Chains A and B, each alone.
Chain A
Amino acid sequence: MRNLEGKNNWQAHLDSAILALRLGMEGMAGDRMARFIDALAPRLSLSAPAATQRLNPLLGEALAAQGRKDFQRMADLLQYEIKPLLDRSGDT
């Protein structure tokens, strides 16, 4: 149950961050992104090293996109690269 709650939390924050980015709501996107990272951290410590290795560069790229205000690229990375990877690693 705890794992499920954790999963739901990061998913909800991630979905909310993606939506805010698509709409141009920068403040909300930053807030949800921070919550997503916070919710993800404990999960990452339990993840297989291989999954973390694939995830880290993507997260780095997403944060770099955030830094240069490239919000649609950031949303793409979160929605189409990072989220499927996390979903897959959660199923294993």
Chain B
Amino acid sequence: MKSSAKYKDLALSPSDHDPHSRDHCQGENLLEVNLKVVRSRWPRLAAMVDRAPAFEECRVTDTPEPTLSIDGIQLGSGYDRRSEAAIQASLVPENSSLAWVYGIGSGDLPRTLLRRESLRRLEVVILNPAVLHASFCFFDHRDWLADARVNLLTASEAADLQRPFAAVPSCLQLADDGAARLRDLIVLELSTPFIREKHGADNASLVVRLEENQGYCRRDGDAGSLFGIHRGERILVAAAGPTLAESFDWIRTRKDRHPLVAVDSALKPLAAAGIVPNAVVAVDPHPEDVLKQFAGFDLAPFSATPLVYFPCVHREVLDLWPGPRLTAYPDHPLYRSLTKEYPKQTLFSSGSVLHPAVDLAVGMGAAEIILLGADFAYPGGLSHVSGAAHAKAMVPDIQGHWVHDGSGHRIPTSPNLRGFLRDLEDYIAKQTGVRFVNAGRRGARIEGCSYLEKSA
């Protein structure tokens, strides 16, 4: 980003794109008149927005209703901003007295919500002061900024997701580093209807699978039998992120002292490294995917290793496993009748196999959990640890989805992995008496985790 003087042309260029703007600010540029309102109500924020650096690329679009395109991201509709804002505002119930708005864009979303007489308070969160600076140069925001119902705040002041809310999608894309976690929580929440829809479509086959696997639930042991067996100990949990390979030597030298729980996708590379976990967790309902995790290597060394599984796992995997099998359930309505019929341990699950693996380690009694290969991202441009069934090279897309690594740098990830990360962070925040440690800094930073000392 460069000096804000770069936006001078935007501020001075006459435009009739905004009916609120030109009549009332002759002789002053839009940035100044907007900042004047902010300065009078939130002086600290005015200074922050004023000082915000300018973007490398910020241009006015050649569309019927000109808007800004910032680093290749159009701030809002270039055809009909009002109707777009009305769609976004529809996420807030019509009679709500309170609403949260994430990102400001052209200001049309807060303006639209403020037209509602029922609205008594509007909390507007800045996801990137530099975007607001650019928007202040082009759009007149004074009307909504001056509304007594509005409170303007930064992402760091509004760290937890609040409801009801509406968001400006471009501002999610352009969120700065300080707003990254909040952005992920917003994106996760906005994804929920689609995730539910997908799960709904999968449910029919899942019901059949659960019926097929009832016999296993009846015959097999209970994952709860592992609870409390390592009370007060350090437990290692191996995920299948690319950085797991960096920990193989470290695991080998400590494996005799500290039990290792592995997710199924990490099993093959661990086996290749001569490491036998104390428990393996499998929860993937997709037969082709999960079968690959257990194929192409000798399972004989695992004859004493329990497989902790959700009964959605295909029975071929269950039959393949040479060791004891222990059933667990996720907390999900589809499992209610099985839970009643064959009571077994419930484990935390929110989409990633790492979730129940970590919950199992907590249940085993861990005082400290070391997360290995829990990357939630693509460090080194890889999807998984080398040797994992689904390992592949990923095209770097840092302009797209990213998270911070342990050194504060942005690394590419996917929306799914980001969602899994934030759900794990929520889980960690609720645990008491367990210390969570991340073995490496090359994967995503996990809030609530400290980092492993090399000598530990």
Q: What residues of chain A have their CB less than 8 Å away from a CB belonging to chain B?
A: 19-28, 31, 68-73, 75-76, 79-80
Whether B87 pairs with A25 at a CB distance below 8 angstroms is: no
**A80 to B74, alpha carbons, bound, how many Å?**
15
Whether A76 pairs with B79 at a CB distance below 8 angstroms is: yes
Whether B63 pairs with A70 at a CB distance below 8 angstroms is: no
In the complex, what's the smallest C-beta–C-beta distance from A77 to chain B, in angstroms?
10
Whether A27 pairs with B77 at a CB distance below 8 angstroms is: no
Closest B residue by C-beta to A28? B194
Q: Does B123 contact A (CB under 8 A)?
A: no
Whether B190 pairs with A72 at a CB distance below 8 angstroms is: no
In the complex, chain B residues whose CB is within 8 Å of the CB of A20: 194
Find B74's partner among A25, A27, A28, A76 (CB 8 Å cutoff).
A76
Whether B170 pairs with A72 at a CB distance below 8 angstroms is: yes
In the complex, chain B residues whose CB is within 8 Å of the CB of A79: 79
Tell me the total A-B contact number using a CB cutoff of 8 A. Answer: 77
Find A22's partner among B63, B69, B88, B186 (CB 8 Å cutoff).
B88
Whether B84 pairs with A72 at a CB distance below 8 angstroms is: yes
In the complex, what's the smallest C-beta–C-beta distance from A14 to chain B, in angstroms?
15
7 A-B pairs, CB-CB below 8 angstroms? A20-B194, A23-B190, A68-B400, A72-B73, A72-B76, A72-B170, A76-B78
Whether A73 pairs with B78 at a CB distance below 8 angstroms is: yes
**A51 to B416, alpha carbons, bound, how many Å?**
38
Whether B187 pairs with A76 at a CB distance below 8 angstroms is: no
Q: How many residues of chain B are within 8 Å of chain A by beta carbon?
A: 32
In the complex, chain A residues whose CB is within 8 Å of the CB of B195: 27
**A70 to B170, alpha carbons, bound, how many Å?**
7
In the complex, chain B residues whose CB is within 8 Å of the CB of A71: 169-170, 173
Find B169's partner among A21, A27, A31, A80 (CB 8 Å cutoff).
A21
In the complex, chain A residues whose CB is within 8 Å of the CB of B173: 69-71
**A71 to B172, alpha carbons, bound, how many Å?**
11
In the complex, chain A residues whose CB is within 8 Å of the CB of B73: 68-70, 72
Whether B400 pairs with A69 at a CB distance below 8 angstroms is: yes
Whether B72 pairs with A25 at a CB distance below 8 angstroms is: no
Find A73's partner among B69, B187, B191, B197 (CB 8 Å cutoff).
B69
Whether B87 pairs with A22 at a CB distance below 8 angstroms is: yes
**A21 to B190, alpha carbons, bound, how many Å?**
11
**A71 to B88, alpha carbons, bound, how many Å?**
14
Q: Does B14 contact A (CB under 8 A)?
A: no
Closest B residue by C-beta to A79? B79
Beyond the given A24-B88, A68-B72, could you list 12 further A-B residue pairs with CB under 8 A, ordered by the A residue number? A22-B84, A22-B169, A23-B169, A25-B194, A27-B194, A28-B197, A68-B400, A69-B400, A70-B74, A72-B73, A75-B77, A76-B63
